[in-house]
Structure 1
Amino acid sequence: MEKGLREQADRMQILDLVARYCRGCDRRDFALVRALYHDDAIDDHGAMFSGGPDAFVAWLPKAMEPWELTIHAISNSVIVLAGDRAEGEHLVRAWHRTHPPERQEFIVHGRYLDRYERRGGVWKFLHRQLVFDHGEVRKVDEEAMARLGAEARHGRADRDDPSWGLTLLAGLSGAT
């Protein structure tokens, strides 16, 4: 029973790690993203980028520049544990919207193939690989955006996003 509870706790910690990565990218909290990788980790985004975590975080602002907003949504996660090491496969739908005036949506359907390691009791990425499975590009329906979002708060890719008003959530940031 104790082993089963430990494995469930490990899985939940790894899923939280993956969710924090998405938040860090989408809210442009690159200090948070950096905190999720071991110093000797590798991030492999194919021809776009492959290298260590410091270089990855240095590359992210330029990579995110064309996008007014992004949403990284994870589904169908599989995690295999082996002591202080684990591997995971997570389906990702990474939605990117360009800046006005003629906004477009670029939607990547893919997977993150991850290797994790627990060091000092903390799970972090040891290797993260993005696998592209499918993609879509379409124009933003500006009329629908105006009609559906007329009375709602709008999401942002910076610290003006409403989520930064939640003290505990904002406290996830790796920045001081």
Structure 2
Amino acid sequence: MAKTLDDLIAESEIKDVHIRFCRANDRMDQALMRSCFHPDAVIQLHETLDVDAFVALGQTILSQYTATWHNTGNQLVEVDGDTAWAEHYTTSSHRISADAKGPERDFIAQGRYVDHMEKRGGEWRIARRTMVLDFLRTEPLAPGETGLGSTGGKRDRSDPSYTLRLRD
């Protein structure tokens, strides 16, 4: 079936929600994270969580890493009026400092976010999310590898993606 212009706009807005979700993780931005979910959303990980518990868990987990990088690949969205189903493939890289368990290393997760989206009050947000973890791996940094770019990102609003952002 052919997509309407409204379907294409909805699809773009839904994909934007997921990209903001990735950014919220990497910048540890709780307000941005909350803006991706309806207040009564249900998130299914290894357990079922509400938005408050999910954001708190995310902050606890993400604070263990020196950097994270969430990348979105394939995104499939099926719109049906003010509801939609979406599947977002993701690769998430997490930098771990050297510790008793090993040298500085990257923990890499690959999986999919499967979402039930709803448009309420003119805004698309996640109403239900299930995280599907397809596989994991850990890779030590090569000897002499610093692992940081020219300036290194920041995990808060001092990151260049906020400070250099165009304003209205």
Aligned length: 163
Please state how far the C-alpha of 1:11 moved relative to its aligned partner. 0.4
What corresponds to 2:77 in structure 1?
Answer: 79
What corresponds to 1:41 in structure 2?
Answer: 41
Following the alignment from structure 2 to structure 1, what is the Cα–Cα distance between the partners of residues 143 and 124? 42
What one-letter code is carried by the residue in structure 1 that aligns with 2:131? Answer: L
Please state how far the C-alpha of 1:52 moved relative to its aligned partner. 0.8
CA RMSD of aligned residues (A): 2.0
Q: Are the aligned partners of 1:153 and 1:162 in contact in 2 as well (CA < 8 Å)?
A: no
% identical equivalent positions:
34
Please state how far the C-alpha of 1:30 moved relative to its aligned partner. 1.0
Please state how far the C-alpha of 1:82 moved relative to its aligned partner. 0.7
| 1:1-176 correspondence runs (5 A) | 4-47=4-47, 50-100=48-98, 102-141=103-142, 143-145=144-146, 149=149, 152-168=150-166
Give the TM-score normalised by the residue count of structure 2. Answer: 0.89
Please state how far the C-alpha of 1:100 moved relative to its aligned partner. 4.5
Q: Are the aligned partners of 1:87 and 1:115 in contact in 2 as well (CA < 8 Å)?
A: yes
Q: Are the aligned partners of 1:107 and 1:137 in contact in 2 as well (CA < 8 Å)?
A: yes
Q: Which string of whole-angstrom CA distances, capped at 9 and with x for unpartnered residues, describes residues 61-114 of structure 1? A: 111121111111111110011110000111110111113463110000101111
Please state how far the C-alpha of 1:142 moved relative to its aligned partner. 5.2
Measured at CA, do residues 92 and 125 of structure 1 come closer, stay the same or move farther in structure 2, by a change above 3 Å?
same
Instruction: Name the SS for the 2:10 alignment partner.
Output: helix
What one-letter code is carried by the residue in structure 2 that aligns with 1:24? Answer: A
Following the alignment from structure 1 to structure 2, what is the Cα–Cα distance between the partners of residues 20 and 168? 16
Please state how far the C-alpha of 1:165 moved relative to its aligned partner. 1.0
Measured at CA, do residues 28 and 142 of structure 1 come closer, stay the same or move farther in structure 2, by a change above 3 Å?
farther
Q: Which 5+ residue runs of structure 1 have no aligned equivalent?
A: 172-176
Q: Are the aligned partners of 1:30 and 1:60 in contact in 2 as well (CA < 8 Å)?
A: no
Following the alignment from structure 1 to structure 2, what is the Cα–Cα distance between the partners of residues 142 and 159? 31
Q: Which 5+ residue runs of structure 2 have no aligned equivalent?
A: none
Please state how far the C-alpha of 1:154 moved relative to its aligned partner. 0.9
What one-letter code is carried by the residue in structure 2 that aligns with 1:88? Answer: A
Which deviates further from its counterpart, 137-146 or 36-45?
Answer: 137-146
What one-letter code is carried by the residue in structure 1 that aligns with 2:14? Answer: I
Following the alignment from structure 2 to structure 1, what is the Cα–Cα distance between the partners of residues 113 and 56? 20
